[in-house]
Amino acid sequence: MSRELTLPDRQALDDLETFLGRARRVDPDGAARLVVTGGMLAVYVSPVHGGGGPTVLGLRVVALAPGPGPDACLDADQQGLDVTVALSALLDRFPRLRSSSAPPVTLSLPPAPVAAAWAGVAPPRSGWDAVGLLGAARLREAAASGIREIADGVPAGTGAAAVARVRGLVWGRPLAEDLADVPAGVAFAADALAFLDDAEPVALYRLRPWVRATTSRGHVLARRPALL
């Protein structure tokens, strides 16, 4: 299987680096799952997982460059890519590519895949039912409230397991009374990954046991642990 991804230009490279960098800020030891289908790269990260809380995924889709030649398709090995790698190891590869000005840009993946429990949770690709629209400000407020509660409930020196439990409790609560199946972690992930824009409503979808919040900047998908 190919260990390289071919991006069409520097903008695509920069956008991907920004997305992965935001994911690493909220999960420094985290991972990214990279899946290539139909010439598109789906990049999954997980800002919220463990601690008895929900599994919340962030998803950004990036178009890949075709192979050489006017009629060429995506390389067959690249097309079958499905690998999970460490965020830090993947981001380490971006600085050396900034000096390359001629497109397309080839991103070499870390040689060693990593294990991430959330990466085995595959959200559906189709069949979603539209639920309605949410204001970006509503999600930002929920994210800020949860961050404050976690900060107040986790004193200095608290162990990692205890921090994870507090995070799981806070981000596992319903976003609102009328959205009982939407965990507050959806708001946190959407805000942390910069998917929110005050000028654009957030589209909410449901395909039990999943929920999905979508903007033009990306998708947040969540599944509660009791339903795994």
Domain total in the chain: 2
Q: Are residues 194 and 147 in the same domain?
A: yes
Q: Are residues 167 and 82 in the same domain?
A: no
Sign of CA dihedral 114, 191, 122, 43: negative
How many CB atoms are closer than 10 A to CB 120? 11
Highest mean pLDDT among 35-39, 52-56, 136-140, 173-177: 136-140
How far, in Å, CA of 149 to CA of 20, rounded? 26
What range does the domain containing 167 cover?
Answer: 129-227
Which pLDDT does position 190 carry in this prediction?
98
Q: Assign residue 72 the CATH number of its domain.
A: 3.10.150
Instruction: Decide if pLDDT at 204 tops 60.
Output: yes
Which pLDDT does position 100 carry in this prediction?
66
Q: Specify whether the CB–CB gap between 31 and 86 falls below 8 A.
A: yes
120-142: pLDDT as tens digits = 888 998 999 999 999 999 999 99
Q: Specify whether the CB–CB gap between 83 and 107 falls below 8 A.
A: no
- Quote the pTM value: 0.90
183 beta partners: 174
62-73: pLDDT as tens digits = 999 875 544 344
Q: Are residues 113 and 16 in the same domain?
A: yes
For residue 64, give the DSSP letter. Answer: P
Which are the contacts of 190, defined by CB distance < 8 A and separation ≥ 6?
139, 143, 196, 202, 213, 215, 220
Q: Are residues 34 and 111 in the same domain?
A: yes
Q: Which of 52, 32, 54 is nearest to 42 (CA)?
A: 32
3-state secondary structure of 77: helix
Instruction: Decide if pLDDT at 80 tops 60.
Output: yes
What's CA 25's distance to the chain center, in Å? 12
How far, in Å, CA of 7 to CA of 105, rounded? 5
Which of 120, 154, 175 is a domain's end point? Answer: 120
Which of 100, 120, 140 is a domain's end point? Answer: 120
Q: Are residues 102 and 38 in the same domain?
A: yes
- Arithmetic mean of pLDDT over the chain: 88
